Amino acid sequence: MTGGFPLAYLLDVPGVSRERQFAFGEDKLSVGALIFAIAVYFALTLLLVLGFSHRRAAAA
């Protein structure tokens, strides 16, 4: 089982933690994929904010 979108950054390790549940301390964390996912969400949020502010400025 994997968790994370757009890339899986948390991998469930059977036998180490409860199956079908994620825990940052017990399961395998892919730091590169986590950083990429954070960057994607930050970029999308920034684009939305800039788009709305540009639309509001053009309407005024």
pTM beyond cutoff 0.85:
no
Percent of the chain with pLDDT over 70: 75
Distance CA 44, CA 12 (A): 27
Asked if 13 and 43 touch (Cβ cutoff 8 Å), the reply is no
pLDDT, one tens digit per residue, over 33-58 is: 889 999 999 999 999 999 988 888 78
Q: Domain ranges for the chain, please list them.
A: 2-59
